[in-house]
Structure 1
Amino acid sequence: MTSKNKNQVIGYFFILPAIILLLLFLFIPVIMSVYYSFTNYNILTPQARIFVGLQNYLNLFKDPIFIKSLQNVLLFVVFIIPIQVGAALGLALIVNKKRPWNNFFKIAFFAPVVVSLVVTSVLWLYIVNPEQGLINGLLSVFHIKAQPFLTSTHQAMFVIIGISAWQGAGYQMLIFLAGLQNIPNDVYEAATIDGASKWQQFIHVTMPMLKPTSIMILTTTFISAFKLITQPMVMTQGGPMNATMTPVYYIYRTGFTDRQLGYASAMSVIYGLAIIIFTLIQRRITGTGENENG
């Protein structure tokens, strides 16, 4: 065996654990999900599994809960991306300047990220409690009537959007901060000499040079938003009246609570394809694919 072939064999051994893990936890589950989606598989009676063809997929388009969950997650995506990314950029601009207490603010802004989503969701349950919550207590000081928040079909999803943006903005803040600190000061000095105002520098210098960072943050936030499950599961259980039901939570509830694994698998396949399509569209709009090919 030549030295080159020997090195190749050693390289394959190094990547073998990753390949095995991908097979066990990604490729094999995907294949099994596709197979189960064509059956009426029930976890309690696996021996009674029969092939039903496209029936599960046809039932999906007549399932009002699944359709409502898709509408909810689209609403979540549309609002969470500008709110969370905008907040992250704003926080990064605040801590990017040298000022007293800067390290304290960095830690404070990032703190919600390191706390479990379950813990923060439970905490916010008390804060937005319609009867004894802190926010309604503050509103009463200004003679504003108590709000229903999570018990309202109109407010519940927007409350979850706000909580999710608060919890996740700190992580994107650090990435934006790294991008801001990589911009040379010479560029700002040249813009100042040319008479550019702070706002003009932000629009024509900061934002263009943050484009690679912004695209990466937009893509990761976009994909993460479609996986929303923890907050609705802990705070509302998908209610009220399915106003906060999401596809991932509905898949989990159908598969592991209702034991209808075949139907849940069909939902997983359709939803996975939808995420891939939306991601490709998002990459096309932001020009990510062109940058990679160029």
Structure 2
Amino acid sequence: MSPAAILLLVFLIVPFLMAFGLAFTDQRLIPNPNLSTQFVGFRNFVRMFQNETFRRGLLNNFIFTAVVVPVQTGLALLLAILVNQKIRLSNVFRATYFSPVVVTMTVVAVVWFFLYNPGEGTINAFIQAISFGRLGPYDWLNDPKLAFPAIMVLSIWQGVGFQMVIYLAGLQEIPLEVYEASSIDGANKIQQFFYVTLPMLRNTTIFVVIATTILAFKLFVQVDIMTRGGPQDATMTTMLHVINEGFRNLRVGYAAAVTVVFFLIVLGVSLLQRFFLEEERTV
């Protein structure tokens, strides 16, 4: 068996099968010696779909993915094109845009928590300054209408550098001769972008979109640190629901059921994305 197959078996297949088995039991994180683990059939799955918190978290995951993936992908491509230009200090700009990626999300979330502070936060101060006091201050993380968009802005800012580097590598693989030939044929910069750059970045875009989608569905750290899923479950996510049920409420069996369903959903979305993107490429 190859090393790749061993890693896949140990870190993906075996954990999934274990979670699948636990999903049909009432297993708790701290077992009760006087109460053995019981097989409960599909009870955990029925409770899961009847649970309003789970449904809200899953909906938030899809909303987050639908907003963050296209915005982050578009910004990453724009930044990659900008830093790919032969200008002075281009390496400085590349390092600056990529620097948030190397900072742990925990640190980023804490910093942005203070930036969003309604009393002394820099963001509110900036909004009030440019509006001459007519706008703000806003309680970003305690307002049900603002909390989730605030999390989205943080996430886009933190992750866009990762996609930018991937796009930058793709741009640098495009031969200059292709652009020179298109210029001879009379193509301007905009036409070169749509008919040369984008088609030759198709494989890169497929990877970026699928990777960003998977990362978006894993939304947890920033929500757990900044809002704990509140206010009124406005920022609840499936991963946070799993952690709350499995480790804070000790209901491992139920958490395993949520994990199994969520894994299958993310897998299905990723496969559909790949299918449609591949179909578009062959057209």
Counterpart in 1 of 2:116? 128
Distance 1:224-1:55 versus aligned 2 partners, 3 A rule:
same
TM-score scaled by length of structure 2: 0.93
Equivalent positions of 1:143-222 (< 5 A) are: 143=133, 144-222=135-213
- Consecutive unaligned residues in structure 1, runs of 5 or more: 1-11
Distance 1:255-1:288 versus aligned 2 partners, 3 A rule:
farther
Contact 1:215 1:288 in 2 (8 A): no
Counterpart in 2 of 1:232? 223
Tell me how far 1:22 sits from its aligned partner.
4.3
Tell me how far 1:24 sits from its aligned partner.
4.0
Answering whether residue 28 of structure 2 is matched by residue 42 of structure 1, we say: yes
Work out the CA distance in 1 between the residues paired with 2:50 and 2:85. 54
Tell me how far 1:160 sits from its aligned partner.
1.0
Tell me how far 1:26 sits from its aligned partner.
2.9
Tell me how far 1:99 sits from its aligned partner.
0.6
Q: 2:54 aligns with which of 66, 74, 78?
A: 66
Equivalent positions of 1:226-265 (< 5 A) are: 226-265=217-256
Q: 1:25 aligns with which of 8, 11, 15?
A: 11
User: Could you say what the CA RMSD is over the residues aligned between the two structures, in angstroms?
Assistant: 1.7
SS in 1 for 2:50: coil
Distance 1:288-1:222 versus aligned 2 partners, 3 A rule:
farther
Letter in 2 for 1:123: V
SS in 2 for 1:239: coil
Contact 2:202 2:281 in 1 (8 A): no
Counterpart in 2 of 1:285? 276
Contact 1:283 1:289 in 2 (8 A): no
Contact 1:180 1:206 in 2 (8 A): yes
Tell me how far 1:29 sits from its aligned partner.
2.1
Using the TM superposition, name which of 141-150 and 281-290 deviates more.
Answer: 281-290
Letter in 2 for 1:186: E
Counterpart in 1 of 2:89? 101
Letter in 1 for 2:31: T
Distance 1:96-1:56 versus aligned 2 partners, 3 A rule:
same
Work out the CA distance in 1 between the residues paired with 2:67 and 2:252. 31
Work out the CA distance in 2 between the residues paired with 1:215 and 1:21. 24
Work out the CA distance in 2 between the residues paired with 1:172 and 1:232. 22
Work out the CA distance in 2 between the residues paired with 1:208 and 1:201. 10
Work out the CA distance in 1 between the residues paired with 2:156 and 2:66. 12
Tell me how far 1:27 sits from its aligned partner.
2.7
Tell me the alpha carbon deviations over residues 66-98 of structure 1, each in whole angstroms, 9 at most, x when there is no partner. 000011000100000111111111110111111
- Consecutive unaligned residues in structure 2, runs of 5 or more: none
